[in-house]
Structure 1
Amino acid sequence: MTDKRELLILGGGLVGMTLALAAARQGMSSHVVDRADPAELTAEGFDGRASAISTASWNLFTNIGIADALEPFGCPIASIAVTDGMKPGRLDFQPEPHEGSLGRMFANQQLRLALFEAAAKEPLISWHSRANVVSRTRGEHGVSAMLEDGTKLEASLMVAAEGRQSPTRDEAGIAIAKWDYSHRAMIASLTHEKPHGNVAWEIFYPAGPFALLPLLDDDQGRHRSALVWTVSEDDAAGVLALSDRAFTAEVAKRMHGVFGAIEKHGKVMSYPLGFHHTARITAQRLALVGDSAHGIHPIAGQGLNLGLRDVGTLVEVLAEGMRLGLDPGDAQLLTRYENWRGLDSFTVALATDGLTRLFGIPGKAPSIIRRMGMAAVQRTPALKRWFMDEARGVSGKMPELLKG
């Protein structure tokens, strides 16, 4: 007998697996297909990145039942300091005490562990790891994917959650606008003499943003932060070739002693930075989520959160449609998802691109203008509130799963 499910999710990363769990909490079954081995994805040192989980995304994790498993590993972000090269004119974002934190920092490894452990226990999720898709079919009455081992998976709706190089998106012929920033993000873990005070720093230099993101102290009580240092592609090889001592010296120079003496731990990882945004996020019995639909600069730490907003919206649209007796692949439901998510994701993508370009203009005059603008925002509570709400993901029309 054919095991036809509501969803066929191609890509079992952070966004794809969150979608499967969120759908299961609404009674929807899914096939989740991923090429990777979960043991490799959660291995120590596989991915040194950390992610800022916004308030809305944390609500989603709470509502799908993984927040308790994650809670001990998250470092709250109490405030965000934004500065143009550490010159006067700093901008601070700090919510009111009753509003809680601006978000939480988690190692990607820990996010994967929590998601994978929950998925392994969920009977509505059929998880196909270490599996290659050799063909995809989308028809009037359903969708299917043929795996390399001959297994055929069937569902009502196909969801592409494969990331920036999504073959499902490309095969569907969905147009995409994209460009390369000619930058690389250098990712490293730092320990430092002074506590970070749960402050996330975004220091803008003409060569690119330099972010220090708070992490929990390690088991030896050392203060820790995650570094995301954007460098020109032309300089990337040289930076990666630096000795630990030389790399630490370059980082310390850009930190201006804000955390005192620092040390680098583990290896430095690097990732190319680019922008892409699809012309649409749906097609016949197909929905795109996460980086399959939009890839943005990490300047504001919104990439994963944008994908989690896709998840919350898609699940709400499908659940409401199914309560009315509609098929998950119904064109009306996909149109609603398109209309709800299309503008928001495009607006965030353009904003991050604009910030990247604005702060990348060298020279004293542009720096003075930027700092005057930041000072104006600092003195305008309504503007600061708007920026904080955007950072926390609580602005605009929110799906129920992202509400507290």
Structure 2
Amino acid sequence: MTEGMTPFPTTGLDAGKDGDGAIGDVDVCIVGAGPVGATLACRLAVGGLRVAIIDRAALPPMEDPGFDGRAYAIAAGPRNLLDAAGVWGRLPQPSCPIEEIRVSDGRPGEAPSPLFLEFGRADADQPFGWMIEARSLRVALNAALHASDNIVVLAPDEAAITRTEQGVMVRTRSGRAFGARLAVAAEGRRSPLREQARIGITRLPYHQCGIVGAVAHERPHGNRALEHFLPAGPFAQLPMAGTADYPNLSAIVWSERDEVARRMVALPPDAFAHEIQRRMGDWLGQVTPVGQRWIYPLSAQYAQRYVDTRLALVGDAAHGVHPIAGQGLNLGFRDVIALADLLIAAHARGEDPGAQALLRRYQARCRPVNMLMLAAMDGLERLFGNDNPILRRARDLGLAGVHRLPALRRAFVRQAMGL
């Protein structure tokens, strides 16, 4: 038990690392084992803290053995986090670096505007990010969670959490009971812990859905990504590592109005490929959809605060942004970087990881930056998500202007990379 912590009773069962009986008290209890919560657990464990992580779902079924079309764009800063957490080296499939990004404006079925913005290898001393399959990250996270002696995995399970000034009491549906110094809500946008703490949330609906999937294509992508702004919403092509079946492979993230998006995902394969081609153009040759198609309602939201008594919010429990620049998961990883740095430093000094002063520092470090990013993504969506000819001309000139200013390009790149 952490020194100075008020002891809580346990069930008296035999101890078990993965939930087979009682466990001892921990420094941090994380609720939610998605990419953000699981990465936080792994990073804290490497830093010497004892962690319990709880999720309603069993973790192994998340390791879909087949390619399902979902992928993550991991920025440079979060990639360093995954490496420090002992996760990156466990990825079972190769990642694909993003070394060029072209940003253009246009309409479906038409050639893009000749005024564009391009980020190239001269704008950064490393790739802008890496594309990894969602299933690959899940396999790596599960392996890292179960490999650490400092992590107790309770999944599938649910917990009732009581927080006081003195500490946190955790009682699970499976009958475990233990204490913690800090609870972390990593449960996603509808976080029960956030609601329990009565932390207000503001939502900004877009009346759009995001279509996510993957395409095989005739020509190699050369590690280039495309962000094509269209009146109904942005279309992104993101380079992925090829497979034996699909040597040239890219992920797509495509925003449309709700009713149009639902029609699109229901199209036969040939018609769906045609609609993708109308938005992506012919630079990669003919495209063939592979894997599953996924559709998600799009909105932005932000919590009024990130902390409460012995509670911190991370990831989607704290904020959600439009996927116009692929920053959603990366913002969650930035939360993890900030919170883990503070908790590991406090642990090294023998300080209380749930102290209110520490939590206030976490909020001060993350919330203003996240709010600026949310406002920027919302502004981009509203600026580019229309067909007003005056705005179209203004934004095209803006893209071309940034393209001609290398110092400004590099500043944008550094911010997006999370460095």
Q: Do both proteins adopt the same fold according to a TM-score greater than 0.5, normalized to the shorter chain?
A: yes
CA distance in 2 between counterparts of 1:137 and 1:48 reads 39
Task: Find out whether 1:122 has 2:134 as its counterpart.
Answer: no
Three-state SS of the structure 2 residue aligned to 1:80 is strand
Is residue 92 of structure 1 aligned with residue 118 of structure 2?
Answer: yes
Answering whether residue 57 of structure 2 is matched by residue 36 of structure 1, we say yes
| Cα pair 2:255 2:261 within 8 Å, conserved | no
- Rounded Cα–Cα distance in structure 1 between residues aligned with 2:92 and 2:76: 13
Distance 1:83 1:36, change over 3 A: same
Aligned to 1:354: 379
State the partner residue of 1:201: 226
Asked if 1:260 corresponds to 2:280, the answer is no
Amino acid at match of 2:129: G
Q: Tell me, yes or no, if the aligned pair for 1:95 and 1:388 is still in contact at 8 Å.
A: no
Determine the structure 1 residue equivalent to 2:77: 56
SS of corresponding position for 1:389: helix
Counterpart of 2:417 in structure 1: which amino acid? R
Residue 354 of structure 2 corresponds to 329
Return the match for 2:28 from 7, 28, 34: 7
Check conservation: 2:92, 2:139, Cα contact below 8 A: no
- State the match for 2:38 in structure 1: 17
Do the aligned partners of residues 177 and 125 (structure 1) sit closer, same or farther apart at CA in structure 2, a change above 3 Å counting? same
Q: Distance in 1 between matches of 2:95 and 2:351?
A: 39
Mapped partners of 1:308, 1:100: distance in 2:
19
Quote how far apart the aligned CAs of 1:391 are.
1.5
TM-score (norm 2): 0.91
Distance in 1 of aligned mates of 2:395 and 2:122: 26
Distance 1:38 1:105 in 2: 22
User: Paired residue for 1:397?
Assistant: none
Q: Distance in 1 between matches of 2:394 and 2:321?
A: 25
How far the C-alpha of 1:69 sits from its partner, in A, is 2.3
Identity of aligned residues (%): 39
How far is the alpha carbon of 1:347 from its aligned partner?
Answer: 1.0
- The C-alpha deviation readout for 1:60-114, integer Å capped at 9, x for no partner, is 1222222222385200001111000221111001243871211100011111110
Alignment-derived partner of residue 218 in structure 1 = 243
Please give the secondary structure, in 1, of the residue aligned with 2:91: helix
On the 8 A contact 1:160/1:289 being kept in 2, the answer is yes
C-alpha deviations, 1:264-285, integer Å up to 9, x for none? 1122111111101111100100
AA aligned opposite 1:334? L
Matched position secondary structure for 2:181: strand
Asked whether the 8 Å contact 2:123–2:406 carries over to 1, the reply is no
CA distance in 2, matches of 1:30, 1:145: 12
Question: Is residue 311–residue 354 contact of structure 2 (8 Å, CA) maintained in 1?
Answer: yes
Find the aligned partners of 1:274 and 1:373 in 2 and give their Cα distance.
Answer: 26
Measured against aligned partners, the alpha-carbon deviations of 1:229-271 in whole angstroms (never above 9, x if no partner) come to 1110021221122111111111111122121111111221111
1:299 to 317, 324, 327: 324
Distance 1:97 1:87 in 2: 22
Aligned-residue CA RMSD (Å): 1.6
More deviation, 41-50/377-386:
41-50
Counterpart contact for 1:201–1:213, Cα < 8 Å: yes
Unaligned 5+ segments in structure 1 are 395-404
CA distance in 1, matches of 2:68, 2:153: 22
CA distances 1:345-388 after superposition (whole Å, capped 9, x unpaired): 11111111111111012132211111001111111122111110
Contact (CA 8 Å) 2:321, 2:374: kept in 1 or not? Answer: yes
Instruction: Report matched runs for 1:125-164 at 5 Å.
Output: 125-133=151-159, 135-164=160-189
Cα contact 1:157–1:285 (8 A) shared by 2: yes
Q: Aligned in 2, Cα 1:191/1:284: closer, same or farther, shift over 3 Å?
A: same
Partner-residue secondary structure (3-state), 1:43? coil
Q: Secondary structure at the match of 1:104?
A: strand
CA-CA distance at 1:45 after TM superposition? 5.4
SS of alignment partner, residue 113 of structure 1: helix
The 2-side partners of 1:153 and 1:181 are apart by: 42
Counterparts of 1:166 and 1:153, CA distance in 2:
21
SS at match of 1:316: helix
Which stretch shows the higher mean deviation, 19-28 or 247-256?
247-256
Of 399, 405, 408, 1:380 maps to 405
**1:67 counterpart (88, 93, 104):** 88
Letter of the 1:327 partner, please give it.
D
Match of 2:275 among 239, 242, 250: 250
2:27 partner SS: strand
Distance in structure 1 (CA, Å) of the matches to 2:168 and 2:69: 36
**Greater displacement, 186-195 / 93-102:** 93-102
Q: Tell me if 1:283 matches 2:304.
A: no
Aligned-pair distance for 1:41?
1.1
Cα distance in structure 1, aligned partners of 2:412 and 2:264: 33
Determine the C-alpha separation between the residues in 1 that align with 2:333 and 2:199: 21
Normalised by the length of structure 1, the TM-score is 0.94
Q: 1:45 to 1:157 in 2, by over 3 A?
A: same
CA–CA distance in 2 between the matches of 1:245 and 1:323? 58
SS, match of residue 37 in structure 1: coil
> Match of 2:114, as an amino acid?
P
